[in-house]
Structure 1
Amino acid sequence: MAPTAQFIPAPALGAAAPHSHDLGAGSPSHHDHDHGTQEHGHTHELMEHPGKFAERDLPDYSARNWDERAFTIGIGGPVGSGKTALTLALCRYFRDTHNIAVVTNDIFTKEDQEFLIRNEALSDPGRIRAIETDLQATYGCDLLFVESGGDNLAANYSRELADYIIYVIDVSGGDKIPRKGGPGISQIDIAQYVGASLEVMKRDADKMRDHGPTLFTSVKNNDGVEGVAELIKGAWLGATGKSK
């Protein structure tokens, strides 16, 4: 798979304070940092924060061949958070105006692919595939949506795999989740029934993401979908230099 982009490094986040990893020779976790003359491929700086939106590495698309690899939107999040429902809503939003396709990364089943086809996310079912590739070569897409397999994992996309990343959490997990990271919050229509405060979630999400975009959606009611789509469109136009 071709890489999405090279990166322009963000400003340094500051050097870590001197520290020791010596837990004592008698400790079962003790290890020696004298690796001899061989470099061991990693450093031991302490991270002061989980990262800041404004200080993230920015992609350099100057050498990108958009005919070879479409602008790729990664939609991630835990199982049951609403990734497939959001993907369906975004397909319906873009399908009449843009050339799009979808990869659903179900590892063991084709359930998400079949859901999108059954709900007529796109007029051509061949544009919706589970794991299989060659969509770009076949259709020459403007936008390629990639939905991660939930599988109870909370891992995000590598920037080598996705140009624009949406991470979906849902309010049923409680309003503490944004404090642990997550830019998209779904199923807001049930917040009152699970005791989750949207105000607390917004406050904590803004803090954790350093005021990076956080959107509330109720995809079932089509609330907030246009806002998500407009963020995607803006990122795509900015990356490709297209006018619309």
Structure 2
Amino acid sequence: MHLDHTHSHDGPAAIGADAHRPDGTRRALRIGLGGPVGSGKTATVAALCQALRDELSLAVVTNDIYTREDAEFLLREAVLPPERITAVETGACPHTAIRDDISANLEAVEDLEDEVGPLDLILVESGGDNLTATFSKGLVDAQIFVIDVAGGDDIPRKGGPGVTTADLLVVNKTDLAPHVGSDLARMAADAKAQRAELPVVFQSLRSEAGVGDVAAWVREKLAAWTVGE
């Protein structure tokens, strides 16, 4: 199932990709995860796979500039069978492969559906980027943006498209806040001011709750996707 790969950020991709397979059933929900280097995107993807793999059929596409390091991490952690994890080497800024020229990622997600499908969910992880990172709507159906408290508690206040427009903002590594001087209450207030009613999750993968809130959000998105909302 190969879609039109000529989408650009300002062109047809803004309409969104076809939501259906050739047989008329809905294709896998695609959720993109972006955020700065070291914010915990890959760890969040790994935790989501572990939380959801027994109830959903899912797969992962990772993006790195010149390596397959993130995919190799997921493979070492055995979060999914190897055939359900694939990597895209962007060769340039990750923005290019997730927002502008999305052809390599579209090929990857479509190949996964063809080879190991039917799938319920595909997670597309961007290589580490800055606060302007966003995904083309021709590539993913919803976006998660991951920041971490060690990057500074002023990040939500600074905004940027990733912080302000992502469908879900994850403030990661909250267990580090006392050690790096980050004020979580301030971050929550600033995120609320930037995002209005868009949801924010404060997360520590070292806590008992772990990725639970993000997994619950993914389940809600998938439930709506399945009925075609």
TM-score under structure 2 length normalisation = 0.75
Is contact 2:156-2:191 (8 Å) kept? yes
- 1:103 shift after superposition: 0.3
Give the letter for the 1:91 counterpart.
Answer: C
How much has 1:2 moved relative to structure 2? 3.1
Q: Which has the higher contact order (CA 8 A, sep 6+)?
A: 2
Matches within 5 A, 1:15-26: none
Q: Match for residue 180 of structure 2? A: 194
Q: Give 2:153's match in structure 1, choosing from 175, 178, 201.
A: 175
Structure having the larger proportion of residues in helix: 2
Contact 1:78-1:152 at 8 Å conserved across structures: yes
> How far does residue 211 in structure 1 lie from its aligned partner after superposition?
2.3
User: Is the CA contact 2:65–2:127 (under 8 Å) kept in the aligned structure 1?
Assistant: yes
Aligned-partner Cα distance in 2 for 1:70–1:136? 8
State the aligned residue count: 187
Aligned residue in 2 for 1:157? 135
- Deviation digits for residues 160-194 of structure 1, max 9, x if unmatched? 21111100000011111011232210000001111
Q: CA deviation at 1:222?
A: 4.9
Q: CA deviation at 1:152?
A: 5.2
Report if the CA contact (8 A) 2:48-2:215 is conserved.
Answer: yes
Show the 5 A alignment for 1:116-127.
116-122=74-80, 124-127=81-84
In the alignment, the residues of structure 1 paired with residue 207 and residue 26 of structure 2 have an alpha-carbon distance, to the nearest angstrom, of 36
SS at match of 1:219: coil
Counterpart residue identity of residue 117, structure 1: L
Following the alignment from structure 2 to structure 1, what is the Cα–Cα distance between the partners of residues 203 and 19?
32
Normalised to the residue count of structure 1, the TM-score between the two structures is 0.70
- Find the aligned partners of 1:70 and 1:147 in 2 and give their Cα distance: 15
Unaligned runs of 5+ in 1: 4-40, 42-56
Residue matched to 1:138 = 115
Q: How far apart, in 2, do the equivalents of 1:220 and 1:151 lie?
A: 24
What do the CA deviations read for 1:131-183 (whole angstroms, capped 9, x no partner)?
27211111221100000011557412122211111000000111110112322
How much does 1:108 deviate? 0.6
Q: 2:206 is matched by which residue type in structure 1?
A: K
Equivalent in the alignment of 1:64? 19
Distance 1:87 1:222, change over 3 A: farther
- TM superposition shift of 1:220: 3.1
